[in-house]
Structures are given as C-alpha cells and as structure tokens.
Structure 1
C-alpha cells in the first residue's frame, strides 16, 4: 500500500498511474477539495475562472501528452498586440503595442477539468480529505502516517510543496539535515499570488474593440486578460493584483479593483456578474511563512529532491521537486509520472 500525501495534480496523477498497474494506494489531503493549487471556480452562470494554475506552453510536452491521453481539449489564450498600460498611479492609462509573444494555452472547461478527470478514474474510497498529516513513522519497512486518522503502508509519496512537509510533518527517523534545509528555502509557486476574476453577460471589451489585456505598475490589478471559455460563450476577465493589496479588507480591495477596471475599460466594466478572488497566502495548505524572503522558484527542481529515503520507500514529488519546469503544471505532471515509475518499481 502506498500512501500519497496531497491530492493536487502530481498526487492524483501518481495515483492514476498506480491504479492502471494494480498498485494499491490511499491519497490524503488536508483540504476539503482536491486539486491543490489548481482551483477553477464556476460562478453564477457557470463561467469557469481560474483562481490557481492557468496557462501552459507548447514546450510543456508532458502536460500536453497527458491531455491527449485523457482526451481533454485545450485552446490558445486570446491575446492581441495592443494592450492597456499604466506606468504609475500618476500616469494616464494608455494603449501600447507589444511584441508578438509565443502563444500560451488553457485547458477547456478550466484547469480543474484535468483534476476531475483524473479523480473520476480513481475509486472515491481511496481518496481521503480533511486529513492533515502531522507525523510519519518508518520502522521495519513499514510506515505509519498520522493524520486525523492513522494510515499504514509500505511506501509514502510526499506530493505537497517541500516547505509544507519539512515544517509541518514530524518524521521518525528525522529527515537528513541537508534535505530539510533546502526544503525550508524552496519557494512554493503561487504562494504569494492574488488572483482575481470578473465575469460578464457579454464581452463588452470585444464588442467595443478595446484591448483585452491590461498591464499596470500602479495596481491593484497588475495583469488582466481575456478569460472567456473555449467556445467563447462565457465571458470573463482574469488576472493578478499586487501582493501589497492583501493588507486591505475584502471590501476595500474589491472596491479598488472595480474603480481600476472602470478607469481602464469604461463604465460597462462595473456591470459584472461575479467577483472572485483568491489570496494564496491565506491558503494554509499552500502557504508557509519563510524565515527569510525567497526568490521566485528558489530551489525549485533542486537535485536533492530526486533522492528516495527510508530504504528507498519515501518519495518526494510535487511540482517544486520536478527537474523540468518546476513550479508549473508541467512540473507536476513530470513529477507524478516519475514518482509513479519509482513506486511501481518497488514491486518488481
């Protein structure tokens, strides 16, 4: 029995691969939902907006191969060469031309469509939510995993960000000090992001031939993009706000966002259906305070995460551990595939 800690993309993919090979497992997750940092919210009119991982690129070959395997469609992010730009809070909103970028892509139906598709391939009774792991004991080639309940297995996969397992889980025997030290200084991608989205009855920016993207150095919104669905039958704008605005109350932040979109896109921007936001530093099962400021992607893909521990029965997974595109969905897929191969190899 393999105990997989974390029901995000890497954990669910590992489980999916194990099930196909007939290897028994249990997935534990501290949240009340699956998906980890992938979280598509479906509002009043079922418009999918991404509060977490959103975009990928042509070079993300492992993710693309998985989408093909699962028969999940994807589409190119709508992006024009003309964008709105604001240099500072004292600067007027202007339009500017940007160089043609390599296209980015989104998953049809939302990023959570990938998560839900993997989950539906599993047996629901093998996935346990509300299970915050506090201790892992290894003795005589066997593990005891202490969460709200106690689980036993002969291997364990850590499919959560390194900062979480090194700071929140007690290991007996202890983890190597060099591994713990690196894990404590491994940046968790998205942990300091604020995502926001506004949904609309119609794409007024398209109808009025306005740019669909905004880049601002003033805020609160720093990046904003057309976020209509694949069929362009559901309409939204989605992006990021400056992290500094997390100090405001929800009402203050929402008010500032609406004020900004009206200034940029005109009064029709205030006629939205839903306002959604996610402050990832408030997500206790994603964010862990660091002793000192970490650089984006710091220690992501560090070779030390390749090492198996406890008689080669404890495996480090998650997007941050991947040796290719760590921190992104591509990294999570790569990590899930590699970890599944290691676990399957135990029985050979």
Structure 2
C-alpha cells in the first residue's frame, strides 16, 4: 500500500508530524513557504555570542512532549523564570516587585486569580470578554484589573475586550517554572530538519488543497511555475489566518469552515535590544508586566555569559498597531520608562508577526463561547486531510511550542491508524 504524505508547513507541528511518519516508514514531503524551517520559532544571533528569540521562547515544566524531543536530540533546557517570584509590575507609573507589592495589591491579585481558577474548575466559557468579566467583578481592586488587562496582551497577544474570559482562565494551567532551550528555540527545529533532510522543500508555498476520491493534492508555487503534487494524506499545519486565503477544495463540515474562516489570531511585535551591560539587574527585573507601549519586558540572556545582555520586549493587541513602524524606538522608550537614563542599545532586531505573510498573527485565541462550541465537536480531519498546528492542540497548550508538537504527534497517529484500516 502506498504511504505518501504531504506536510504543509515546516513549523514545529509539521516537522513533528513528518519526523514521526518517516520513522514509521512513510514517504513524506514537507513544503514550506519561508526560506527557513521553524515557522513562528525564530532565534536571532547578536555579537558577543549571544542570541534571543523573535518568536516562541518559553517551555513550561509540564511541556513533556517538547522536553522528550529535546532529550532525544541532546538539547539542554535551562531556567528562564520562576512564577510568581520573578513577576514585576509597572502600573500607574510605579514599579513593583513581588517583595515591594503592598499587601492590598497582593490580596487583590490572589482574589482575581482565584476567581479565574473557579471558571477553569467549572470548565466555564461565559458569554463575556475578559474586559466585561473584570467590569462585573466589583470586588476586584483596580490594580489587579490593570495587571490582568496587561497580561491579556502579554500572554495571548489579544485585547481584553476581545478574548473570552473562559479561554484566558487557562493561563493558570502552566507550570511554576519557565525554561528555554539552550542555544535557542531554533535548535529544536533544526534538529528535526537535520533528520528529515531532502524531505523538506523551502520557498514553496501552496495555493490550493484538493481531493479526488482517495487521492489528495496540493498546488505549489515553484521557480518553474505552479505544479501539483499528489499523496494519500495531507497534514496541513499552517495557521488558519493564512489557510483561509487559499483555495480549499475538500469536503469540510460547516463547523470546520466556520472555524477556519473566523478563528482569531493575536497580533504582536517582538523587539530585542542588546545593551553593553545588564543595568536592569540592579532593580531585580524578572518578567515585567507594564502599562507602556510594550506590555512585557524580560531578559533573554539570563544564563548567557558576559556583561552584555539582551532585553526582549513584546507589544500586542491594538497597542501594537501604534508600535509597528517605530518598534525599536518605542522599545527603547519603554526601557527608559522602566529604567530612567538607560543607555542606547548596541544592536536590535524586531519582527511584526501580524505583518508576516506566512503567519498573519502570532497565535490563536478564543472569543466568548467559541472555546466550548468549537472545541467540543470540531474534527481535525476531512477526508485525506489532517489539520495540525498549535490552534488544534488541547486548549491549555494553544499558543505554545508544546501545542504545535502535540498536534503534530496527533496527526501522525491519525494517519498511522488510517493506514492500518
């Protein structure tokens, strides 16, 4: 029996699916529109042998699928942050660490997180945005409301007026410890790619997905012109923000078409600033949640050697639209607000994920009610087409590298099951 599989997208979901299927003896071809593998994983390198992440960065200690692959590829994990100890806040023009928070402020944060945990325990998906839910909680202190609003941008790249409070509640399901892949997140993507070798075809975007009886096909843009490639199965891992603009000629259910058409993606600009010294360490910065043009700031070089250091700054949701085009200037302005008289950065790098044609957003989020309605009965296959990507992962892993990896594993298992029937 033929075992031909096309994988669309060489992000972590596509690379994982291809890796597992090649191990199982399938003939796999991976087509990637970008000139590199990794998708929304993108490590960049600076002078002084330092690096930072313009894309996905953090690994929770509960991300067992990623940790397992890291072990297989002899990649080391190193500490990034510990929650909540390393959280800092810049609210109403004042800077707070965990040690300098007033008792009323800490109690108010505990109160709002407890209420969110109750939603999670009830598996609730209220018909309220996070902003509406906060406004209805009259007992919550304004400080806690402001922190949670900024966390909506920082965690989900979404406005609190858009994200469903039921989905936001899942932010509390991560582990207590954040880790990074030593040498950069791209090390994992490159490890998969090294194994897959010539199976991967870069600079090859697809324009159409089709199916005829038992055969599926994709139309590709190549330097020779448009060509069509046939297989027994297709694993589609690209974001639905991109997929919805392609020709999809397969038998989708109404719920699938609705989800592909309307699933929202956060918008985000991430900027890295390298400085000659780590002046922020004097103020015990960890992960700063701030009312500034960039809502989150942290150090990327905690375990990297030398006096030089890199700060990562993210601006998300509607505020990021004001950052686009002035990203480096406003990132340095944000750092100067948090630390007056901060020096000028030695080197910079920035990426606007909403302007990236192959992502058209950062990662998915859910509006009120869609979490329950789409996740309860939405199948991730249609004929010979299997959908994967962080947007199809278990909800607690959406937006994470772990979610992409788990979805790739699930897609490979589905094809293995189909092949045995």
Whole-Å separation in 1 of the counterparts to 2:249 and 2:213: 12
Whole-Å separation in 2 of the counterparts to 1:278 and 1:46: 21
- Structure 2 unpaired stretches of 5+: 111-174, 222-226
Deviation at 1:118, TM superposition (A): 0.8
Aligned length in residues: 333
- Which of 245, 248, 260 is the equivalent residue of 1:168? 245
Q: Does 1:260 align with 2:334?
A: yes
Q: Residue 228 of structure 1 aligns with which residue?
A: 301
Q: Does 1:195 align with 2:270?
A: yes
Whole-Å separation in 2 of the counterparts to 1:320 and 1:210: 35
Q: Residue 330 of structure 1 aligns with which residue?
A: 402
Q: Residue 52 of structure 1 aligns with which residue?
A: 55
How has the CA–CA distance of structure 1 residues 47 and 298 changed in structure 2, closer, same or farther, with 3 Å as cutoff? farther
- Which of 132, 135, 141 is the equivalent residue of 2:214? 141
Q: Tell me, what secondary structure is at the counterpart of 1:228?
A: coil
Within-5 A mapping of 1:98-117:
102-117=176-191
Q: Residue 388 of structure 2 aligns with which residue?
A: 317
Q: Normalized per residue, which structure has more helix?
A: 2
After TM superposition, the score normalised by the length of structure 2 is 0.71
Deviation at 1:215, TM superposition (A): 2.2
Query: C-alpha deviations, 1:1-21, integer Å up to 9, x for none?
Result: 101011100100111111212
Q: Does 1:273 align with 2:346?
A: yes
Q: Residue 322 of structure 2 aligns with which residue?
A: 247
Q: Which moved more, 1:51-60 or 1:91-100?
A: 91-100
Q: Residue 178 of structure 1 aligns with which residue?
A: 255
Q: Tell me, what secondary structure is at the counterpart of 1:138?
A: strand
Is the Cα contact below 8 Å between 1:199 and 1:272 reproduced in 2? yes
Deviation at 1:60, TM superposition (A): 1.6
Query: C-alpha deviations, 1:102-131, integer Å up to 9, x for none?
Result: 2211111111111111111112x2212222
Whole-Å separation in 2 of the counterparts to 1:32 and 1:296: 37
Whole-Å separation in 1 of the counterparts to 2:267 and 2:398: 16
How has the CA–CA distance of structure 1 residues 332 and 303 changed in structure 2, closer, same or farther, with 3 Å as cutoff? farther
Q: Residue 35 of structure 1 aligns with which residue?
A: 38
Q: Residue 155 of structure 1 aligns with which residue?
A: 233
Over the residues paired in the alignment, what is the CA RMSD in angstroms?
2.9
Query: C-alpha deviations, 1:32-59, integer Å up to 9, x for none?
Result: 2211111111123442211111112122
Q: Does 1:12 align with 2:21?
A: no
Q: Tell me, what secondary structure is at the counterpart of 1:147?
A: strand
How has the CA–CA distance of structure 1 residues 94 and 317 changed in structure 2, closer, same or farther, with 3 Å as cutoff? closer
Q: Residue 340 of structure 1 aligns with which residue?
A: 412
How has the CA–CA distance of structure 1 residues 82 and 230 changed in structure 2, closer, same or farther, with 3 Å as cutoff? closer
- Which of 20, 25, 35 is the equivalent residue of 1:22? 25
Q: Tell me, what secondary structure is at the counterpart of 2:264?
A: coil
Is the Cα contact below 8 Å between 2:41 and 2:186 reproduced in 1? yes
- Which of 119, 129, 141 is the equivalent residue of 2:193? 119
Whole-Å separation in 2 of the counterparts to 1:13 and 1:235: 32
Whole-Å separation in 2 of the counterparts to 1:343 and 1:154: 10
How has the CA–CA distance of structure 1 residues 102 and 153 changed in structure 2, closer, same or farther, with 3 Å as cutoff? same
Q: Tell me, what secondary structure is at the counterpart of 1:254?
A: helix
Within-5 A mapping of 1:267-306:
267=341, 269-287=342-360, 295=367, 299=371, 302-306=375-379
Whole-Å separation in 2 of the counterparts to 1:304 and 1:162: 18
Is the Cα contact below 8 Å between 2:275 and 2:343 reproduced in 1? no
Whole-Å separation in 2 of the counterparts to 1:276 and 1:241: 14
Is the Cα contact below 8 Å between 1:297 and 1:327 reproduced in 2? no
- Which of 300, 308, 312 is the equivalent residue of 1:238? 312
Q: Residue 91 of structure 2 aligns with which residue?
A: 87
Is the Cα contact below 8 Å between 2:324 and 2:352 reproduced in 1? no
